[in-house]
Amino acid sequence: MAILLFAEHDNAALSDQTARALTAASRIGSEVDILIAGKAAGAVAEAAARLTGVRKVLLAEGDAFEHRLAEPVANLIVALSDGYDAIVAAATTSGKNVLPRVAALIDVMQVSEIVEVVAPDTFKRPIYAGNALQTVQSTDAKKVVTVRTAGFVAAASVNAAAAIVAVNADAAGSGLSFFVENRLSTSDRPELSSAKIVVSGGRALGSQEKFHEIILPVADKLGAAVGASRAAVDAGYAPNDWQVGQTGKVVAPALYIACGISGAIQHLAGMKDSKVIVAINKDEEAPIFQVADYGLVGDIFELLPELERQL
Ligand SMILES: Cc1cc2nc3c(=O)[nH]c(=O)nc-3n(C[C@H](O)[C@H](O)[C@H](O)COP(=O)(O)OP(=O)(O)OC[C@H]3O[C@@H](n4cnc5c(N)ncnc54)[C@H](O)[C@@H]3O)c2cc1C
């Protein structure tokens, strides 16, 4: 089976999410081509070409692809789709923006946010905020699939590079949407979705000042990304893009430290696949302890400064 994998990048660097989605794509079929749609994205194509298991890289460049707006990119993918049995992308903001449009244009069902490839036409995906796994089989001739990448290891980068083929694409803008601006939060900390360690804080922190005073020093000592429960975000203790959970980010780091977080199912939906979970909570009955590998019952305002000193 031939697969077209739509890559996630910023025209300068290839996202780790693509290497993870490649692992999933390779389980659907052995002939995987990566599509880089962008502008001046040659370095991205070179990085993609070095990933293990890539047959070739298709590089489509043009003004309309610079910000990967859904309309021109979906048209590009549809134009290329004849030679492919499946179109795959990571379930990122960009993948979730483009692939439903592709599925609609070629008139097939999308299979969203798979966590396992059972067979080339059969996939597992979470439902009910991750409380159940559904196995779905697609009988469509062409599969359109987004991948929840946390469950897949990244394909390795090797020295030998696959061929990069330039695609002459119609890069005219559709006029249906325009790029206005990107407002990016800048941080020296690792990105939450791909960090190896995440330290998260909950409602127990009580204020933005305390969140910063108690959580950030421990995160910085560990080189960790910072996460938060929705209660902490809604109360303004932490910014929106730190939220972990059903309506936030889904993370699966090697180590997740939940501080003053009760462990509501909507929070667990975003972190329960972490390799090692540490919970610090003063209530020994808190549900978070049911998923924790290590639990510390006590007051975060005493334990976290102590942990920082020990680190
Ligand atoms: C549709 C929907 C989507 C949702 N999506 C999300 C989501 O994406 N992410 C998410 O997180 N939530 C989500 N929620 C909200 C979720 O149900 C919980 O309300 C939320 O996760 C609770 O956050 P919390 O654990 O910080 O707060 P609480 O549940 O209030 O827990 C605070 C915890 O801190 C402990 N504590 C208090 N003081 C201390 C102290 N000094 N030291 C140690 N421990 C202390 C308490 O024992 C308690 O366990 C969603 C809810 C709905 C309905």
Instruction: Give the residue, by CA position, lying nearest to ligand 1 atom 40.
Output: 299
Tokens of 208: 């933005």
Identify which of 262, 289, 297 to mutate to test ligand 1's pocket (most ligand atoms within 8 A of the CB): 262
CA angle centred on 21, ends 288 and 96, rounded to 5°: 80
Tokens of 3: 């697969």
Tokens of 51: 């990933």
pLDDT of residue 287: 97
Which atom of ligand 1 lies closest to the CA of 202? 26
pLDDT of residue 173: 67
- Compute, in angstroms, the gap from residue 168 CA to the centroid of ligand 1: 50
- Compute, in angstroms, the gap from residue 239 CA to the centroid of ligand 1: 15
Q: What is the pTM of this model?
A: 0.78
pLDDT of residue 131: 80
Identify which of 215, 241, 247 to mutate to test ligand 1's pocket (most ligand atoms within 8 A of the CB): 247
Residue among 106, 311, 286, 100 at smallest CA distance from 202: 286
**8-state DSSP, 190:** P
Instruction: Give the residue, by CA position, lying nearest to ligand 1 atom 8.
Output: 245
Residue spans of the chain under pLDDT 70: 171-173
Residue among 279, 284, 272 at smallest CA distance from 258: 279
Which atom of ligand 1 lies closest to the CA of 262? 49
pLDDT of residue 184: 75
CA angle centred on 9, ends 44 and 270, rounded to 5°: 140
Beta bridge partners of 51: 157
C-alpha–C-alpha distance, residues 236 and 251, integer Å: 21
pLDDT of residue 222: 96
Identify which of 213, 251, 266 to mutate to test ligand 1's pocket (most ligand atoms within 8 A of the CB): 266
pLDDT of residue 150: 82
Q: Per-residue b/e over 53-71, b at no fewer than 16 CB within 10 Å?
A: bbeebbbbbbebbbbbbbb
41 vs 132, 181, 267, 291, CA distance in Å?
A: 39, 19, 36, 42
- Compute, in angstroms, the gap from residue 246 CA to the centroid of ligand 1: 12
pLDDT of residue 176: 86
